[in-house]
Structure 1
Amino acid sequence: MKFLPAACLLMSLWAGTPQAGGSQRELDYADYLRQTVVMGQGIWLGEGGQSFFALLTEAEKSDHGRAVLLLHDMGEHPDQQPVMHGLRVVLPQHNWTTLSIQLPVREAGAGRADYYGLFDEAHGRIQTAVGYLRKIGAKDIAVVGHGMGAAMAAYSLSLDPNGLAALALVSLAVPDSSLPQAQTGQFIKNIALPILDLYAEFDLSEVVDTARRRRMLGKDNPVYRQVRINGENHAFAQDPNLLIKRIYSWLALSLGPN
């Protein structure tokens, strides 16, 4: 895996353990990816105690004019198999630069409710990542989140759409919770962007059972679309290429050919 030199305040070269850091689990993930990922460039974004790891994979036949920010599922990392890895390496073949970032994580075994306290930190990381993509030349930026990454994306864009072009929410749950960070249905209603609400036939119950509710909340958005992929569960492990194809086809339809 290639590593970018320090080209701006948002980025620092890997040099063993960074001066700043997230949790030990995040550092362990970064070290693992540094040793195993063969496609893409490992970078650190942010400054001081707010730095976090990311994988940048450049579009094959164009500049960075179009980019996709990728947000992994709960407790995972930027090369999560098969969803993040597949999107990260296939979308560049369709001329989308991808930036897959490390979202904040809890200790192993933490439940979904334990993650809502991390949503504001995730919002900050998303804004930092978008700023970095713009600095390297991205004009059209889409966000694709899976599971908890989709929930964090919806929360972040409901606070500040930040001039983003489109949002794909894979396996977005609408949990039974009064916490403000958990109001994903309301986030859908408030985001005026092209939205792809994609889920699996055998997804988590709080994803499948709330599909109609999400669809009704998105009905006033003329560029909201909901798609169910049959025969899959939350991991999309049976045929991840179908999920990836659905997403890049939707990107082309929503934003025009690249």
Structure 2
Amino acid sequence: MFCLAAALPAAAGDQRREQDYAEQIQRQLTDGRAVWLQTERQPFLGLYSDAEKTDNRDAAIVLHDMGGHPDQGPVVRGLRSTLPKHGWAVLSLQMPVLEIGASLDDYFIVFDEAATRIDAGVAYLQQGGAKRIAVVGYGVGAAMALYRLSAKPDGVMAFAAVSLPVADDRLPQAQSLEQIKRIGLPFLDVYAEFDLPSVLDTARQRRMAGKDNPVYRQIRLDGEGHAYLQNDNLLVKRIYAWLTITANEK
């Protein structure tokens, strides 16, 4: 698989860094199973877990933060391990990464590749029998999901954004507030009391951008920072409770 990746045209992201993540994760994986998905550019890793005691009809795609991987702790790992216990199959995707030290503004060049990976994730879950698919994005993963869903909500019934950043950049990929206005899906916007400035300082702007969406909801978790180290279980609980309520209303 890695030889195949090397033979493909060069992508904007750091493929070697992705390969290193994949090797490390597959050596240590104890929860779920590794699956390989494909875009026109390259193969990429996903981590899949079946829902417990259900038929995988409900499934969530989980997207990590900037420079991370599909088993990133504590947020992504918490979602991966907990959502299946509450009736949700989970597919956590490796999103494009850049070199260490790259900024949010640098990452906009890989948002189109990120959108195709979400497409591949939706297709994989649908082929496995999923009928209701939600996307849960964290940090830059949330911004990537927002970019895709604002232009193409196909196959997705709900979107939960954790610590969604808003950048001051003129690129189309960076127009998060305009993208929020185009989202008609049930939309949960969660952020932390001590989040990053790009998240915390734009909370009101995001809320105003979502005001015409009757199923937009914003909540702040007090006492937490961007990494959600104080009580990551509370964040996960808020997300799965919201997903369950949303799915039952469909």
Bin of the TM-score, shorter chain as denominator length: over 0.9
Do 1:20 and 1:47's aligned partners in 2 also have CA atoms closer than 8 Å?
no
Partner SS, residue 251 of structure 1:
helix
Q: Report the counterpart of residue 234 of structure 1 in structure 2.
A: 226
Letter in 1 for 2:248: G
Helix, strand or coil: the match of 2:236?
helix
Q: Superposition pairs for residues 11-26 of structure 1, below 5 Å?
A: 17=2, 19-20=4-5, 23-26=15-18
Q: Distance in 2 between matches of 1:217 and 1:103?
A: 26
**What amino acid maps onto 2:118 in structure 1?**
I
User: Are 2:124 and 1:126 equivalent residues in the alignment?
Assistant: no
Aligned CA distance change for structure 1 residues 18 and 78 (closer, same or farther; 3 Å): farther
Q: Aligned-pair distance for 1:257?
A: 8.3
**Unaligned stretches of 5+ in structure 2?**
7-13
Distance 1:18 1:34, change over 3 A: farther
Structure 1 unaligned regions, length at least 5:
1-14
- Cα distance in 2, alignment partners of residues 49 and 73 from structure 1: 21
| Contact kept? 2:39, 2:116, Cα under 8 Å | no
Aligned residue type for 2:54? S
Displacement over 6 Å in runs of 4+: none
Residue 196 of structure 1 is matched in structure 2 by 188
For residues 114-152 of structure 1, give each alpha carbon's deviation from its aligned partner in whole angstroms, at most 9, with x where no partner exists.
100000000000001100000000000000000000000
**CA shift at 1:18, angstroms?**
5.0
| Aligned residues between the structures | 243
Supply the distance in 1 between the matched residues of 2:48 and 2:229 (Cα, whole angstroms): 23
Give the equivalent residue in structure 2 for 1:6. none
Correspondence for 2:58 among 42, 46, 66: 66
Deviations 1:80-131 (CA, angstroms, capped at 9, x unpaired) = 0000000001000001000000000001111111100000000000001100
Q: Is the 8 A contact 2:39 2:117 kept in 1?
A: no
Identity of aligned residues (%): 53
1:138 aligns with 2:123: no
Partner of 1:212: 204
Q: Distance in 1 between matches of 2:170 and 2:210?
A: 20
Q: Secondary structure at the match of 1:108?
A: coil
Residues 1-258 of structure 1: pairs in structure 2 closer than 5 A? 17=2, 19-20=4-5, 23-46=15-38, 49-256=41-248
TM-score, L = length of structure 2: 0.94
Secondary structure of the 1:19 match is helix
In 2: Cα distance, 1:256 partner to 1:152 partner: 26
The CA distance in 2 between the partners of 1:100 and 1:79, in whole Å, is 8
If the length of structure 1 is used for normalisation, what is the TM-score?
Answer: 0.91
Q: CA deviation at 1:19?
A: 2.1
